[in-house]
Chains A and B, each alone.
Chain A
Amino acid sequence: MLLFLLLIKIVALTFCVVLPLVPVSVYFERRFCAVIQDRVGPNRVGIPLTLFGFKKDCGILGIGGLIQPIADGIKLFLKEDFTPNHVRKAFYWLAPALTVAPALITACVIPFGTPITLFGHTEKLVIADLDIGPLFIFAIASITVYGITIAGWSSNSKFPFMGGVRSTAQMISYEIALGLSIIPVLLYFGDLNLSHIVQQQADHGWLLLPLWGHDASHPLTEKLLFWFPAAIAFLIFTVSIFAETNRMPFDFPECETELVGGYHTEYSSMKFAMFFMGEYAAMVIGSALVVTVFLGGWSLGFGTDSWISNLSLGGFGYGGLIHLAIFIAKVVAFILFFILVRWTIPRFRYDQLMKLGWVIFFEAALVNVFLAALIVAAPHLQGTIISLGALLLLIVTAAIIWVAQVSEAKPNNLRA
């Protein structure tokens, strides 16, 4: 029975919530970028009901084109799945799966909503309520890079190979900033369980919007003070997520202008589609993580959450579903931000990316950890120790900035 429930949860949350968000984000991407570029985008594909004897074709909500991702999917399924002669077959076949699977596995620790009660049985809306949520996500999500690297290498052709190598280098330079940037948040909540983190945010204000639920252990001043390290962490984390999901402005593994098609040049049909899906699934999970950690996850905020989660109709506690809807709305909003960024910022140069990762974000995240620690520990320390710590932090920050600037200085020309 328990296993059966778990199976239902896995299927429902992964295949009915996360996976459908992929075509939805593809559709949004195409429509939004079209609007940004003064175009229309895909607006024709509806359900061809006339084929089944109905009078009119159906465009959902009066918007055509919502079925476009399905049409694309069918197209990709029906294409010839061509395997070039020169590839390393086993890895060539393994790579697409390695890109999609991790993104979908990470979905299992994301809390989608408050528990649902049905027939006296309460079920949490999270597949695996692990106590090491973010760590699990980082561990699994970094496997994605294996997929890309193996794809690049096994294609046995130069441009895909360069794409694969680039993705490795990019991953190394961003993984550290990604991991370090979230430490202040974990320090603040004192918990690694994402469900608890969201619950705390619902009770005492989102990390970036701490405006309600003040009490003795969560005074407003401390929360407002922590807003600054939280904002820095949010910035670094978001940018690192962009790099992690290979989105513009960091889509080096597949930049068309330099690498033909990047790591998936040699792929066609559904294998290519799996890379595509993997990219968008990673984007969905990335947004879900940002929303969960910084923007209150499923909570609506302003103290309404306990009321929503207690909503029930004849023994059916449907509050969790409302929270699920709120969560999805937030994730979609963040995905729209992803798209806005893609169509606004041009691609970075490769060395700029490395510099941003190693010289700026790594140091900034490190300093941010100390800053957050100081703010979190301040209520328990004496004034002198606090000021000493602040002084130390200032000195370290100044030293890091100085080192960064010195490393930037151009070497003197020997010959004028």
Chain B
Amino acid sequence: MAVIKIQRPKLRFGEKIYLTALCKGFFLTLRHAVKSLMGKSMGAKDLASSGLGVTMQYPEQNWDAQLPAYYRGAPALVTDEQGRERCVACQLCEFICPPKAIKITPGEIPSADPWAKVEKRPAAFAIDMIRCIYCGMCEEVCPEQAIFLRKDYVILGTSRKEMVHDKQKLYAIGGVRTGLVNKWNELK
């Protein structure tokens, strides 16, 4: 590769004595500051700014409306339109979970239950949200379409215990999800 010699730009006298360049710089910065104050910074609209710079001020404003469909928030269990809890306590998600955040205690479905043929459901299901890394592997591995990553990202607690989502909480976050494959239904 040949050496390319680049000519330094020839400076005019005004640029050489530096003062005019300085003043230009001041006005540039000031203009930028005024723009920023009026909420007209570049990209302020796309970033849904608060009107000062490009910053969205979090607790008052949030990004929820702009969250993409593939956003990976808190993992949660879902029930379907028949009111059946989808999880069959196969524990695949527990085994694949990279940070070992999921803990499942399988339980039996009593024979009196209309869904007795499913045989198993979780007696307890806990996800430690301090450990969870939101990788989505649980969702990917689940053969029953029972666990999904939702868009919740505000997960708060004042103790480690509070940060563990138990079964009840997981179903509360997950809610009812329709349009899933109901493979346990009777064939018609």
Please name all residues of chain B whose beta carbon is closer than 8 Å to the beta carbon of A344 when the two chains form the complex. 22, 25-26, 28-29
Interface size class of A (residues with CB under 8 A): 10 to 19
Q: Could you tell me the distance in whole angstroms from the C-beta of A344 to the nearest C-beta in chain B? A: 4
**A362 close to B (CB within 8 Å):** no
Binds A, one of B48-56, B99-107, B126-134, B171-179: B48-56
Contact indicator per residue, chain B 16-33, by CB within 8 Å of chain A (1) or not (0)? 000000100110111011
Contact with B along A158-177 (1 / 0, CB 8 A): 00000000000000000000
A36 touches B36 (CB 8 A): yes
8 Å CB contacts to B: which residues of A23-44? 32, 34-40, 43
Given contacts A35-B36, A36-B33, A38-B41, contact A345 B25 (CB under 8 A): yes
Which interface residue of A35, A38, A39 has the most chain B CB atoms within 10 A? A38
B57 within 8 A of A: yes
The docked-state distance in angstroms from the alpha carbon of A91 to that of B91 is 65
Taking the closest CB of chain B, its distance from the CB of A143, in whole angstroms, is 30
Would you call A10 an interface residue if the criterion is a C-beta within 8 Å of the partner chain's C-beta atoms?
no
| B52 in complex: contacting residue of A40, A340, A341, A343, CB < 8 Å | A40
Q: Which residue of B lies closest to A38 (CB)?
A: B53
Interface positions, chain A 322-359, Cβ under 8 Å from B, are 340-341, 343-345
B53 in contact with A34 (CB, 8 Å):
yes
Chain A residues near B29 (CB, 8 Å)?
Answer: 36, 340, 343-344
Report how far A40 CA is from B28 CA in the complex, Å: 19
User: Which residues of B are found within 8 Å of A34, using beta-carbon distances?
Assistant: 53
Task: Kindly report which residue of chain A lies nearest to residue B41, judged by CB atoms.
Answer: A38
Taking a contact as CB atoms under 8 Å apart, the answer to whether B53 and A35 are in contact is yes
A117-B28 Cα distance, complex, nearest whole Å: 46
Nearest-Cβ distance from residue B23 to partner chain A, whole angstroms? 10
**Min CB–CB distance B14 → chain A (angstroms):** 16
Is B116 in the interface zone, CB < 8 Å from A?
no
Q: How many residues of B contact A (CB 8 A)?
A: 19
Residue of B with least CB distance to A40: B55
How far is B57's CA from A345's CA once the two chains are assembled, in angstroms? 29
The answer to whether B50 touches A40 (Cβ under 8 A) is: yes
Q: Bound state CA distance, A249 and B44, in angstroms?
A: 30
Per-residue contact bits, chain B 32-68, to A (CB 8 Å; 1 contact, 0 not): 1100110001101000001011110100000000000
What 1/0 flags go to A173-195 for Cβ under 8 Å of B?
00000000000000000000000
* Docked CA distance A208–B4 (Å): 50
CA distance A9 to B55 in the complex (A): 44
- Measured between beta carbons, the chain B residues less than 8 angstroms from A35 are 33, 36-37, 52-53
| CB of B57 to closest CB in A, whole Å | 7
Residues of B within 8 A of A38 (CB): 32, 36, 41-42, 44, 53-55
Q: A36 vs B52: C-alpha distance in the bound complex, in angstroms?
A: 10
Inter-chain contacts of A40 with B (CB < 8 A): 50, 52-53, 55, 57
Q: Could you tell me if A32 and B50 are in contact, using CB atoms closer than 8 angstroms? A: no
B121 CB, min distance to chain A CBs, angstroms: 46
Bound-state CA distance A274–B29 (Å) is 30
Return the chain A residue nearest B43 by Cβ.
A38
Whether A340 contacts B30 in the complex (CB less than 8 A), given A39-B53, A40-B53, comes out as: yes
Chain B nearest CB from A337 CB (Å) reads 9
Residues of B within 8 A of A37 (CB): 36, 53
- How far apart are the CA atoms of A146 and B10 in the complex, in Å? 42
Which residue on chain A has the smallest CB distance to residue B28? A344
Q: Verify B32–A36 contact, CB threshold 8 A.
A: yes
- Find out whether the CB atom of A340 lies under 8 angstroms from the CB atom of B26: yes
A40 to B60, CA, bound (A): 14
Report how far A341 CA is from B22 CA in the complex, Å.
Answer: 9
CA A95 to CA B32, docked complex, whole Å: 39
Instruction: Please measure, in the bound complex, the distance between the C-alpha atom of A38 and the C-alpha atom of B37, giving whole angstroms.
Output: 8
A43 contact set on B, CB distance < 8 A: 57
Tell me the bound Cα distance from A40 to B52 in angstroms.
6
Residues on B with beta carbons closer than 8 Å to the beta carbon of A341: 26
Q: Is the CB of A345 within 8 A of B22?
A: yes
Closest to B55 in A: A40
The winner among B22, B25, B29 for most chain A CB atoms within 10 A is B29
How far apart sit A28 and B18, CA to CA, in the bound complex (Å)? Answer: 27
Residues of B within 8 A of A345 (CB): 22, 25
Name 9 interchain pairs, CB-CB below 8 A, sorted by A: A35-B36, A35-B37, A36-B29, A36-B36, A38-B41, A40-B53, A43-B57, A340-B26, A345-B22
6 additional A-B pairs beyond A32-B33, A35-B36, beta carbons within 8 Å, are A36-B36, A38-B36, A38-B53, A40-B53, A43-B57, A340-B30
The 10 closest A-B pairs by CB, nearest first: A38-B53, A344-B29, A38-B41, A40-B55, A344-B25, A36-B33, A38-B54, A35-B33, A35-B36, A39-B53
